[in-house]
Structure 1
């Protein structure tokens, strides 16, 4: 392929172990909040359900856990830290930063706080020069997949695509555990890098990495969705169906969206419409509960299916306000044009240049390409 991927525990066995661990964590936690490490382990397991298995009900469970922790007598710093991690996962970044400050005042080890604060700055596109320096320093000093992958993702955001690729490969080479989840995560990120992020996507390379991710974790919903999109684009419809069928019972709206595209390519308009309505309904449900967490994906869906342009514009602006990344600027700009709010589109273009115009990635955005078309 492109690099030798290491051996890991069988993905289905790892999934069963994960589900057993999750049940055990909740059982222990429901008995007592005082068991050291249980809250941290539970958050990690619930995040696996979100990240790999498309189980967004985990967000509701984590939200209830956070509320329960913060309303409990005898709060300690680790409770604030855990609540901050949960708020960050739900894209409630100001609240997360506030909780981190409380954890800091309670004497939580800065080494536990720093990774969360860095992830928030990176997710919101703020202080990136400082974040980059610290990410590079942590990768050199501490190494490990937990430091290399965020650095690679930051390189990709900035437009340093070769550095991103090499850093992801370094994370794979240096991984010294048998869990397949972390390796699947890196392979998925490499698929996104080569299939969507670089200026000239290489769909063969991207498909190979998505396939590697699925080989590690067979039920990896996001990897299957992205791989099916490549197959649909190439009119490899049998492969697309085989990729989606194992996750048909998942409540991820993008699964329904890809099925809608697949049925349309198969000239089955009636079924395509049914799946499109399912995707739309599922996005509506998720937005009603976790608007900031799904705003960016919903904007992509609405714009990609010519659905609810006003709602897309509203969500795109909320997402931009919450996390003014370059991707958020591009989405807001596209939504403004579709909604025929051209003054707002022009303002977004000007703001994007002021904030992001100096980085290499900006040269490959819609803002530059449209200047060339004028």
Structure 2
């Protein structure tokens, strides 16, 4: 993969900074409209449900782009209220399924999708959502079958993008790279978010393959598209640290540590500061990350046990705690990545035991 392939067809989209500002405005505007509607309309009325579901999707999107756990939690709370108000409304059930999947509550998400289907939500939409869950659980063949089935009623960009990410996770790098290119060629929208997310996922693929130049190129493409894209900035900082430039990593991570409530960026900042010899400051950020992970694992263990385990196995320097969380994560999903994390934790704990007097 070369930078030329990223720029082979460069779609024209809304400026990323403007798009983020518009996203804030859309969320605020919908929240106000729903608040007003709640004073004079039935909470479960179709218009209120539709607006509530739209707000939930926008909150989830902002959470993904800006690294805001609070947005995921607000979306989940709104979805619960929506289903309470309209328990048989397919739109409400679908919105709650998405929030549950975002927080890795997969069994509950699947149950909601089944109920949404019985309430009349079209099968292609449900298949696409089920594919996301199956892919997260490592059931790649089943996920691929559903993506291909849903493709009959979805855009070529959506289908190719979903298949690209799936093949990347399966390790089919050459095929995934071609699919990433194909998805890009099919993009016809004006929002920068889908393309930035596509470039980010491509970068993750090359990052896992150890091709730091290709990964960096993809992360930079996502960053150019949406300058505030937290995941792209955070992973770009990881690349800089691997390249031996902790100062560049710190420059990328420090703003994220203040704007995102995800402790992953705080933990990475601690690691970068430590690598740069700023041990005292690194310790302060490490303590903040530890507290953040402790809170998140209590609230959302399915979604954050793996991230917390990685933190304790690295900058957190607590192999026993890392092993406990890796085992907890393995109980949630039997994926190759979960098994690999558990094996890392076992090896780390063994090294600690061997070093003990």
Please report the TM-score for the alignment, with normalisation by the length of structure 1. Answer: 0.84
The answer to whether 1:51 aligns with 2:64 is: yes
Once the two structures are superposed, what CA deviation does each residue of 1:100-146 show, in whole Å capped at 9, x if it has no partner? 121222222222211111111111123x3232233245457744332
Q: Is the 2:87–2:93 Cα contact (8 Å) retained in structure 1? A: no
Residue 300 to residue 223, structure 1, CA distance change in 2 (3 Å): same
State the shift of 1:271 in Å. 0.6
Q: Is the 2:264–2:289 Cα contact (8 Å) retained in structure 1? A: yes
CA RMSD of aligned residues (A): 2.1
1:175-214 pair list within 5 angstroms: 175-196=187-208, 198=209, 201-214=210-223
The answer to whether 1:96 aligns with 2:117 is: no
Once the two structures are superposed, what CA deviation does each residue of 1:223-279 show, in whole Å capped at 9, x if it has no partner? 111111111222224432332243231222122122212222221110111111111
Q: Is the 2:330–2:339 Cα contact (8 Å) retained in structure 1? A: yes
State the shift of 1:301 in Å. 1.1
* Match 2:16 to one of 7, 11, 14: 11
1:58-97 pair list within 5 angstroms: 58-72=71-85, 75-97=88-110
Q: For residue 30 of structure 2, what is the aligned residue in structure 1? A: 25
The answer to whether 1:144 aligns with 2:146 is: no
Once the two structures are superposed, what CA deviation does each residue of 1:156-176 show, in whole Å capped at 9, x if it has no partner? 122211111111111112111
5+ residue gaps in structure 1? Answer: 342-374
State the distance in 1 between where 2:230 and 2:197 align. Answer: 12
State the distance in 1 between where 2:339 and 2:34 align. Answer: 41
Residue 73 to residue 220, structure 1, CA distance change in 2 (3 Å): closer
Residue 131 to residue 233, structure 1, CA distance change in 2 (3 Å): closer
Residue 202 to residue 140, structure 1, CA distance change in 2 (3 Å): farther
Q: For residue 227 of structure 1, what is the aligned residue in structure 2? A: 236
State the shift of 1:44 in Å. 2.0
Q: For residue 318 of structure 1, what is the aligned residue in structure 2? A: 328
1:132-281 pair list within 5 angstroms: 132-139=144-151, 142-196=154-208, 198=209, 201-249=210-258, 250-281=260-291
SS at match of 2:85: coil
Once the two structures are superposed, what CA deviation does each residue of 1:23-69 show, in whole Å capped at 9, x if it has no partner? 12222233244316323321221112221101110122122112212
Pick which of 106-115 and 205-214 moved more: 106-115
Residue 291 to residue 166, structure 1, CA distance change in 2 (3 Å): same
Q: Is the 2:216–2:239 Cα contact (8 Å) retained in structure 1? A: yes
State the shift of 1:311 in Å. 2.9
Pick which of 48-57 and 33-42 moved more: 33-42
Q: For residue 307 of structure 1, what is the aligned residue in structure 2? A: 317
Pick which of 18-27 and 142-151 moved more: 142-151
Residue 102 to residue 136, structure 1, CA distance change in 2 (3 Å): closer
State the distance in 2 between where 1:74 and 1:190 align. Answer: 38
State the distance in 1 between where 2:111 and 2:275 align. Answer: 48
The answer to whether 1:105 aligns with 2:107 is: no
Q: Is the 1:219–1:246 Cα contact (8 Å) retained in structure 2? A: no
Please report the TM-score for the alignment, with normalisation by the length of structure 2. Answer: 0.88
SS at match of 2:277: coil
The answer to whether 1:291 aligns with 2:283 is: no
SS at match of 2:13: coil
* Match 1:335 to one of 345, 348, 352: 345
Q: For residue 370 of structure 1, what is the aligned residue in structure 2? A: none
SS at match of 2:147: helix
Residue 112 to residue 136, structure 1, CA distance change in 2 (3 Å): closer
State the distance in 2 between where 1:58 and 1:142 align. Answer: 27
SS at match of 1:115: helix
SS at match of 1:8: coil
5+ residue gaps in structure 2? Answer: 352-357
